[in-house]
Chains A and B, each alone.
Chain A
Amino acid sequence: MSRATRALRPAVTPILAIVTAFIVGSIFILITDFNNLSKLGTDPAAAIGGALGLIGQAYYAMVTGALGDPDKVGTAITSPTARSVATAIRPLTETLVAASPLIFCGLAVAISFRSGVFNIGVEGQYVLGAFGATVVAILLKDTVPAAVILVAATIGGVLTGALWGFIPGFLKAKAGAHEVITTIMLNYVAAQVVLFGLRSDFLRKAGSSEPISKVLDFVRVPVLIPLPALRLHWGFVLALAMAVVVSWFLFKTTKGFELRASGFNMHAARYAGMSATGSIILAMTLSGGLAALGGSMAVLGDVTQMSNDISTGVGFTAIALALLAGNRPLGIVVASLLFGALSNGGHLMGIKTGIPADLIIFIEALVIMFVAAPGLIRWLYRFDATRMPKRFDDNAAAKEGSAA
């Protein structure tokens, strides 16, 4: 076996999972395509051709929406103006914008899973992080320079989310309250806190009847590429940096080792003199803080306005992609880019073909399902399980470690 094929082996399940999910997605496009279905009786060839054409158009629009339109890239190369270049690379930068919160939240999930706690509350921690950052930013408006507001708001957001992670961690460590239950409940409480906060005139946009905050136009995470209409900002770089930091923390520091040890076997870790309760609280607090950093970057960088829709299920998608990546930081970055591309490309698919972008949510769920059940993929494609290397089951091993 060559080195290249050996390196690719662990990617077999995720790739097959994604392919299978898209096939199922196509089936749903087909059976809801009433225009072509109704022609099936009279003109089957045209009907089948039209249906397959629609699927092709949809997925092509998704790819161009996520990566860039070849025509526009061509224009940018032949006549490079600021505008044409921006138009050409905008889809790609928007994919990175969509991927950034997923990276933060995916890392947050990975820290908790590696430490043996199931943080389902990333969603709420992300939302409250964005909320905390908004409150601090509006509080400091017109008092200090924008750079100071940016730093203070980010810290405020992170602390809010860390607190929202600390609560279930503390309850788990001290009272044995199951963190899956408490974090699910805290997600809903977080949404209520945000709605409650946005009732006040202090936060709410003047004259708005909707619960949305004032526009944070006085503070902004600096953009990466100074071209018009590009929203990509340093939050993405910070996300990549956090992947490195989390990787270093988990695998190269004593504390990180203790977290993983108590995640792997809490009793053994305790016997070795580590504080299991301390690990749980630390893991949940760090996890909440990381998710909140993602929320802060989103609201201070690209969304610019707090509302209850700030997270479109980012926290739940993050659980999925952390699983997809086997809770490995590098893998989370790759998976986040993939999911970012899917959700960003889904928008263009919706506009071009009228197929709702929500199909992407369904496809994402299928991807997680197939990745979480590697045996199902092997069974579907009938390939020899015994020939798969041991690493194939990393996901399952990490999961069992965290569930114990």
Chain B
Amino acid sequence: MTAASPTFEEVRPELSAAERAAIRSARIRGVVMAALGLFALQFAIQTMDVAATFSFWVDKQGGNTFTIATQVGVLWLLAGVVTGVAGVIQLVRGPSFQWRRALLIVIPFWVAATFAGLLAGKPANVTIVFAGTLTYAAPISLGAFAGILAERSGINNIAIEGKFLMGACAASVVASVTMLALGPAANPTIGVLAGVLAAAVTGILVSLLLAWLGIRWRVDQIIAGIVINIGAVGITNFLFLRILTKQTELNTPPTVENIQVPVLSQIPILGPIAFQGSPYLYFAVIVMAAFAYMLFRTRWGLRLRASGEKPSAAGTVGIDVIKIRYRAMIVAGILAGIAGSSFSLASAGSFQMQMSAGRGFIALAAVIFGAWNPIYAFGAAMVFGFADASQALLSVLGVDVPPQLLNSIPYLVTIIVVAGVVGRVRGPAAAGQPYDQG
């Protein structure tokens, strides 16, 4: 909870109520962390004789492997020690301790130990999980960037899901038609590019519809978003059942191939994980870097954020808020549409009904989990991608973990974050509010 600012009388050398509360909660955190550390040590004792075998591909997927063989107990021991140390530091340092950063270090140890515990001695290839994490994260992060862009400019964007779906459909059809028109000898890259372009244009159109409804006709942006999501399901299902099931040649696009990043893809172990992946991943990383710079370091970014925080003030100093919002929505549409094309061009190899499967909402979750910041949102997308990838591996290895638990992680994390359990995040103040240009 936010602390009440002290009144004049309360400002004394003694500690204010807020400071006392901070010290108390720091103590509680420290004790809880230390206790969890002991808990992990208890696990360690029980699982000392269970093997944990993790292997990595060194040069390429399916190539030579590098294996780490240890015990589950050792991983728990590490988790316990790290957690215990964090707890002790917390107790010594008190409220000034950056405990959220410490959590970022502690949690991976717990995840690794839990993962090994679930495998219960089965060897696992970690490269698949990490590379899968990045592959899954790419469209989610692109969708999240679209969400950040829109909301930073003052438009609530819950229509990411609809844009994904429309983008996936348009990409598949246009890529297929392009290849049919060019003949079998043509370079499939041309078809892919045509599909991606079509997805981007579709994304722009859907985005503009949302902006137009919200800005011109002052439709509540949540309602407009829901309309677009429902309409996208309706129209893509309709087109799929009416045309694509009969004319299957219209739904057989060329697929996007993984690319080798020059030099970097040769790095042992790291190369197969991060630098031999889908072009969508590298596009997402480039967009993330450019966007993080532009949002916080350029005049354009300042104006965009002003439009989303205090449009009346922005308008007063001569910023054209409406124009900024429309432009932001156009770019958001491009990003979400391209992300949508990855479902039909990279993952499945054709368009299927409702193939975005709620990932647009996971992107929305990444917007919030990432505190409306492109870099953090990419991190959030990786966390959600990891849940997907590890679930895929566990089910391949026949480990009986209910996939529903892992599937729920993005949603539960988002609820916890918006409820402020792990530090409150706050979105742009004016997102969703119509603006009257005077």
Contacts and interface: CB of A to CB of B under 8 A. Distances in A.
Contacts of B408: 188-189, 192
A181 B239 CA distance: 30
Given A192-B407, A196-B404, A120 B234 contact: no
Contact of A356 (B222, B223, B238, B418): B238
B428 interface: no
Interface stretch (A40-48, A65-73, A90-98, A370-378): A370-378
A335 to B, nearest CB: 15
Given A192-B407, A356-B238, A373-B213, A181 B368 contact: yes
A368 to B, nearest CB: 5
A319 interface: yes
Interface in A332-387: 354-356, 358-366, 368-369, 372-373, 375-376
A180 B158 contact: yes
Interface in A182-206: 182, 184-186, 188-189, 192-193, 195-196, 199
A202 to B, nearest CB: 15
A184 B405 contact: no
Interface in B380-419: 402, 404-405, 407-408, 410-412, 414-415, 418-419
B8 interface: no
Contacts of B243: 32, 34
B405 A368 contact: no
A364 B368 contact: no
A238 B228 CA distance: 32
B420 interface: yes
Nearest to A360: B234
A366 B234 CA distance: 10
A316 interface: yes
Most buried by A among B158, B227, B407, B415: B227
Interface in B215-255: 217-220, 222-224, 226-231, 233-235, 237-239, 241-243, 247
B395 to A, nearest CB: 13
B396 to A, nearest CB: 18
Interface size grouping (class) on chain A: 35 or more
B361 interface: yes
A386 B412 CA distance: 48
Given A177-B415, A323-B223, A361 B230 contact: yes
A376 to B, nearest CB: 5
B223 to A, nearest CB: 5
B269 interface: no
A231 interface: no
Contact of B237 (A177, A178, A317, A356): A356
Nearest to B420: A175
Contact of A189 (B226, B227, B229, B412): B412
A178 B151 CA distance: 14
A28 interface: yes
Contacts of B414: 181-182, 185
A260 interface: no
A151 interface: no
A319 B226 contact: yes
A372 B233 contact: no
A399 B223 CA distance: 10
A185 B415 contact: yes
B177 interface: no
A153 B83 CA distance: 45
Given A185-B412, A185-B415, A372-B224, A177 B230 contact: no
A320 interface: yes
A58 to B, nearest CB: 11
B404 A182 contact: no
Given A175-B419, A358-B238, A360-B234, A375 B224 contact: no
B175 interface: no
Given A185-B411, A358-B238, A358-B241, A399 B404 contact: no
Contacts of B404: 192-193, 195-196, 199
B268 interface: no
B361 A184 contact: yes
Nearest to A167: B415
Contact of B222 (A32, A34, A120): A120
Given A356-B242, A358-B238, A372 B219 contact: yes
Given A184-B364, A356-B242, A372 B227 contact: yes
A362 B229 CA distance: 10
B234 A363 contact: yes
A104 interface: no
A317 B223 CA distance: 11
Nearest to A194: B404
B226 A373 contact: no
Given A177-B419, A196-B402, A364 B234 contact: yes
A176 interface: yes
B81 to A, nearest CB: 33
A188 B238 contact: no
A205 B258 CA distance: 42
Nearest to B247: A34
B227 A320 contact: yes
A362 B234 CA distance: 4
Contacts of B218: 373, 375, 396
Given A360-B234, A361-B233, A369-B224, A185 B365 contact: yes
A226 to B, nearest CB: 37
B432 interface: yes
Given A320-B230, A358-B241, A171 B419 contact: yes
B108 interface: no
B358 interface: yes
Nearest to B412: A189
A364 B220 CA distance: 17
Contact of A359 (B227, B229, B238, B364): B238
A366 B243 CA distance: 21
B213 A358 contact: no
A32 B234 contact: no
A299 B213 CA distance: 37
A185 B233 contact: no
A379 to B, nearest CB: 8
A179 B402 CA distance: 28
Given A185-B361, A188-B361, A28 B226 contact: no
Contact of A364 (B222, B230, B407, B418): B230
B411 A365 contact: no
A229 B223 CA distance: 38
B363 to A, nearest CB: 12
A333 B404 CA distance: 36
A166 interface: no
Most buried by A among B220, B228, B233, B239: B220
A56 interface: no
Nearest to A362: B234
B372 to A, nearest CB: 13
A359 B231 CA distance: 9
Given A188-B411, A192-B408, 11 more contacts: A171-B415, A181-B364, A186-B415, A316-B229, A364-B234, A365-B228, A365-B230, A368-B223, A372-B224, A399-B220, A403-B222
28 contacts: A32-B239, A32-B242, A171-B418, A175-B421, A178-B418, A180-B222, A184-B361, A185-B412, A188-B361, A196-B404, A317-B230, A319-B223, A356-B237, A356-B241, A356-B242, A358-B241, A362-B231, A365-B228, A366-B231, A368-B227, A369-B213, A369-B219, A369-B227, A369-B231, A372-B219, A372-B223, A372-B227, A376-B213
Closest 3 CB pairs of A and B: A361-B234, A362-B234, A365-B231
